[in-house]
Amino acid sequence: MTWPPRASESTGPTWATTRYTLDLQKVQVMGIVNVTPDSFFDGGRSTAAAAMAHAESLLRQGADLLDIGGESSRPGADSVPWQQEWLRIEPVLRAALSLGVPLSIDTCKPEVMQRALDLGADIINDIRALQAPGALAVVAAHSACGVCLMHMRGEPRTMQTAPWHAEVVAEVAGHLAQRAEALQRRGVARSRIVLDPGIGFGKTVEDNFALLPGQRALLAMGYPVLAGWSRKSSLGAVTGKAAPDRLTASVAAALAAVQFGARILRVHDVDATVDALKVWRAAGLP
């Protein structure tokens, strides 16, 4: 007998992207590849060679897709010009296109989106949900790319200075529904769209944890959910640990997100997350 038992052929949700259709019956692990000097946990991979070595390591650990970013979105981070962001991303994207996995570009700038899609990127992952002037048009003009729309209050530079508490689930669901509908009005198929509640982006600790069961509101709208809890400060708030010591908490949060319906996990710690999901599936959990 094969262990774990083989799943039957999927009839569940999928995510349509430029070159690949992702089967979301299996939770997909998105490995983070930051090409930045200042990301909150793993900044410092500011060369293409270092970023590619990291990308290849994540794939050996079991990542299903990669998310490449050239600008930090950590609290307090300043924006960089799109030209600088693209100079960081371009050589990594060119090299990674041969790796045989979907490639997501983490950007909110339409100039970077356009160049990445022209080069062959599969997914645009935008923390601003395509609100920058021209961003919606760039994605809508592409015939097949996937897109992840995230909710954020404010700007990375100031979003955690004084996060305000509201009916966070209703706010997040309402905002993301509007952004997804705007895309669909431009002709983008629902099957190309994934939603991210934006853990840590201008929200209190209480907000973030309310968004775990709150994922159901996004699922009820008919979109898959991407969860990004990896090493976040809310985990430090409940464990008392700094980012380098939040591995266990990150894996626990990832499994909690899956329990509440997330089908894509954006993580730094691919190896530990993949192992946890193997045990999860061996126990017969979805």
Catalytic status, residue 232: yes
Model pLDDT for residues 108-136, shown as the tens digit of each residue: 999 999 999 999 999 999 999 999 999 99
In a domain, 4, yes or no: no
CA dist., res. 170 & res. 157, Å (int): 25
Predicted local distance difference test score (pLDDT) of residue 159: 47
- The rounded distance, in Å, linking the Cα atoms of 244 and 42 is 9
Question: Which distant-in-sequence residues (6+ apart) come within 8 Å of 55 by Cβ?
Answer: 31, 33, 66, 68, 92, 96, 99
pLDDT of 285 reads 87
Dump pLDDT digits (tens) for 24-59: 999 999 999 999 875 544 545 568 899 999 999 999
CA distance 100 to 56: 11
| Residue 286, pLDDT score | 80
27: which DSSP letter?
P
Quote the number of domains for the chain: 1
* Residue position matching structure tokens 């709150």: 214
CA-CA distances (angstroms) from residue 30 to 80, 159, 212, 214, 270? 24, 24, 18, 21, 8
Q: 27 CB contacts (<8 Å, ≥6 apart)?
A: 258, 262, 263, 264, 265, 277
Phi-psi region of 155 (alpha: psi -120 to 50; beta: other; left: phi over 0): beta
Q: Which domain covers residue 269, as residue numbers?
A: 22-74+82-282
At residue 38, the pLDDT reads 52
For residue 37, the model assigns a pLDDT of 77
Answer yes or no: is 3 within a domain.
Answer: no
Sign of the alpha-carbon torsion through 115, 102, 98, 105: positive
CA distance 286 to 284: 7
Res 155: pLDDT: 66
The answer to whether residue 26 is catalytic is no
What's the number of CA atoms in the CB half-sphere (13 Å) around residue 67? 24
Residue from 232, 246, 263, 278 carrying the catalytic annotation: 232
Q: 60 lies in a domain?
A: yes
Residues of the chain with pLDDT under 50: 1-10, 40-41, 43, 159
- 3-class secondary structure per residue, 121-146: CCEEEECCCCCCCCHHHHHHHCCCCE
Is 89 part of any domain?
Answer: yes
DSSP 5: P
Task: Classify residue 259 by its DSSP letter.
Answer: H
pLDDT of residue 1: 30
User: Residue 239 maps to which CATH number?
Assistant: 3.20.20.20
Other CB atoms within a 10 A radius of the CB of residue 254 amount to 26
Within-domain flag for 136: yes
**Structural domain contains residue 225:** yes
Take residue 281 and report the two structure tokens written for it: 């599936």
In a domain, 1, yes or no: no
Q: Which pLDDT value is given to residue 7?
A: 40
Query: Contact, 44 vs 37, CB < 8 A?
Result: yes
pLDDT confidence of residue 163: 56
Q: How many CA atoms lie within 13 A of 248 on its CB side?
A: 5
What is the pLDDT, as a whole number, of residue 76? 64
